[in-house]
Amino acid sequence: MQDAIIELKGVSKFFDDACALADINLSIKNGEFLTLLGPSGCGKTTILRILSGFEKPSSGEVRIAGICMNGVPPEKRKVNTVFQNYALFPHMTVAQNVGFGLKMQGLPKDEISRRVAEVLRIVHLESFASRRPAQLSGGQQQRVAIARAVVNNPLVLLLDEPFSALDFKLRKEMQLEIKHLQRKLGITFVFVTHDQEEAFAMSDRVVVMDQGHIAQIGTPEQIYEEPENLFVARFVGEINILEAQICEVRESGQYGAIIDGALFPLRSRHTFAQGDKVMVLLRPEDLKIGAPDETDGPCLAGVIEESVYKGATVDIFIRLAGGQRLMAAEFFNEDDAEINYNPGEKVSVAWVDGWEVVLPDDPGHTDARHGRD
């Protein structure tokens, strides 16, 4: 089989004049679990509907298994979808729902019932075969929807926010279950969500989308630890942004920069010139808080504003001398008095050398565009 099961080449989509997708280039590997992640309205569903054939791209080409799919209707594509609302047929039993695709393929009855029984066993619903969807719980309906799609052995399975109707606990369970199912079946999954934790927990690769563009493609680790732009950095978790100015260009991506009056060594894959303004991005859990006199390396001086108990962690808010507010997250440890900070206490803030992400300055970064909705 070819390495890329799906290829999107320069795909754009306009609804009337509104651009929903702009020049999307994406190649999905055979057997991978790929997640489209992004805020509401960024075009995730539109990509899925273009893959399943319910929408035509305004321009560009879609290839599935090497064959151009432009103009091929949904029923002729070896792609199946798990719909957001499940879209189970209310007038059919679970077994009839699951067997629908096979029946449309014209398979003999005994083969249909054999394969339906097999897939119902995989999703632990064998005893529910003769029930109707109305007689199932949300989680069970969800699994019927998945069984109904995978029973057809599609080349690609598309899942559009399949857990949005489930409660938190069931959601967690289903995430693991789907991930295991995908490993077991070896089918390529294209999964849509706007929940970054869900995306990270399940995927081999994540595509972060922003207003019809791809903001970054990478493994969950890459996305979280090496965001390529501010949008991604902000969307996939809390982040602190410090303004800095390059004052020294050292060898191979090493720089010296002034942050809040102190000189810090920085590492970046971007190239900067002396005097450039840059942004230093730091995850709350990467910040180290210490006593003000601890002086092993450069640090920022600040005052504790507030600490918020979160169970496993404590969120600590610090006001820097320069006026900026930082958030640090520390693991909570009852025996360790060290992180028992009181508001007003003076502290120093530092981080593990090299864990910072340095991006060119983006004048818009102080906008209230926090990507968490």
x/- letters, 29..68, toward ligand ATP (CB under 6 A): ---------x-xxxxxxx----------------------
Residues 270-309 that bind ligand ATP (CB under 6 A): none
46 binds, among another protein, ligand ATP, Mg ion, none (CB under 5 to 8 A by kind): ligand ATP
Number of neighbouring beta carbons within 10 Å of residue 263: 11
User: Are residues 321 and 261 in contact, defined by beta-carbon separation less than 8 angstroms?
Assistant: yes
Q: Output 137 or 271, the one with its CB closest to another protein.
A: 137
How far apart are CB 159 and another protein at their closest, in Å? 12
Of 12-20, 71-79, 248-256, 321-329, the segment contacting ligand ATP by CB under 6 A is 12-20
The total of other beta-carbon atoms located within 10 Å of residue 92's CB is 15
Site for Mg ion in 27-86 (CB under 5 A): 45
Angle at 156 between CA 215 and CA 19, to 5 degrees: 35
Beta bridge partner(s), residue 18: 15
Q: Within positions 164 to 223, which residues make up the interface with ligand ATP, using CB under 6 A? A: 194
What are the strands, taking DSSP E only, across the chain?
4-15, 18-29, 33-37, 59-64, 67-68, 79-82, 156-160, 188-193, 205-210, 213-218, 240-249, 254-259, 262-267, 277-282, 287-290, 300-309, 313-320, 325-331, 346-351, 357-360
268 belongs to the binding site for another protein (CB under 8 A): no
Asked if 148 touches ligand ATP (CB under 6 A), the answer is: no
CB 161 within 8 A of CB 129: no
**How many Å apart are CA 304 and CA 319, to the nearest integer?**
6
Contact between 15 and ligand ATP per CB under 6 A: yes
Residue 160 CB, nearest distance to Mg ion (Å)? Answer: 6
Region binding another protein by CB under 8 A among candidate stretches 144-152, 187-195, 256-264, 356-364: 144-152
Task: Give the integer Cα–Cα distance in Å for 107 and 116.
Answer: 12
The listed partner (another protein, ligand ATP, Mg ion, none) that binds 152, CB under 5 to 8 Å by sort, is another protein
> What's the one-letter identity of residue 91?
H
H helices of the chain, where?
44-52, 94-105, 109-122, 138-150, 168-185, 196-202, 220-225, 230-235
Binding residues for another protein (CB under 8 A): 52, 54, 73-76, 79-81, 83, 85-91, 100-101, 104-105, 124-125, 127-128, 132-141, 143, 148-149, 152, 165, 170, 173, 177
Binding residues for ligand ATP (CB under 6 A): 15, 18, 20, 38, 40-46, 194
Binding residues for Mg ion (CB under 5 A): 45
